[in-house]
Amino acid sequence: MEKVELEVVGLTSGHSQKSSYTLILGEVDGQTKLPIVIGAFEAQAIALYLEKIKPQRPLTHDLFTSFAQSFRIKVKEVLINDLVEGIFYSRIVCQSNGETVEIDARTSDAVALAIRFGCPIFTRKDILLNAGIELEDEIPDNPEQVDEDIMARISHSQDFSDLSMEELKELLDEAIQVEDYDRAAQIRDEINRRS
């Protein structure tokens, strides 16, 4: 299995679903981005840590980190190891007393822990090829300047069943242009379902 290292590139609030967030992981030595839709709590846990904001009381991920460190458990890496029907699956690889254990986890939780432990995040190359989005050079510096017609098409209904593959690919490009990674992930998932 060939692994590709990823890093947290950003976190955006959902454009089409206001209660969702999109975690954007980027290929360390490449241009491919992997958008993953996550919940508000996990987004908050990731954002607070990245912004170096310490809450008054420990959040769940902080508590787990303290617990693991107290018992000399090290998180060695996070591996996004599967993608089934648009849902990413991950494993947290831990080590204690010379023994390595892999723990199943939601990807959002795994990433929240990876950044706290300072460990690498990997995915399988085939997952990145199937679910990744290549960013192109012509993306405008200021997404607000994108044509309003593009924005209207992207924010159209979430039902993609009446669109052709060509139309879906065009919509995917437009969603990337305006940095609507939440929408891009939904369109990518529809393309993958039909492939």
Give me the percent of the chain exceeding a pLDDT of 90. 49
pTM for the whole structure: 0.72
pLDDT above 80 for 155: no
Instruction: Give span(s): CATH 3.10.690.10, the chain.
Output: 3-131
Q: How confident is the model over 131-153, as a mean pLDDT?
A: 50
Among candidate residues 21, 66, 26, 67, the one with its CA nearest the CA of residue 44: 21
* Maximum pairwise Cα distance, the chain: 59
Which of residues 177 and 29 earns the better pLDDT score? 29
pLDDT above 70 for 71: yes
Q: What is the DSSP string of 81-102?
A: EEEETTEEEEEEEEEETTEEEE
pLDDT at 186: 81
pLDDT at 160: 77
Question: Who contacts 23 (Cβ-Cβ below 8 Å, separation ≥6)?
Answer: 8, 11, 35, 36, 37, 38, 42, 43, 46, 107, 108, 111
pLDDT above 60 for 18: no
Domain 3-131 = CATH 3.90.79.10: no
Mean pLDDT, all residues of the chain: 83
Give me the percent of the chain exceeding a pLDDT of 70. 84
* Separation between Cα atoms, residue 10 and residue 179, nearest integer Å: 11
Which of residues 149 and 109 earns the better pLDDT score? 109
Report the amino acid identity of residue 55: P
Among candidate residues 6, 14, 2, the one with its CA nearest the CA of residue 175: 14
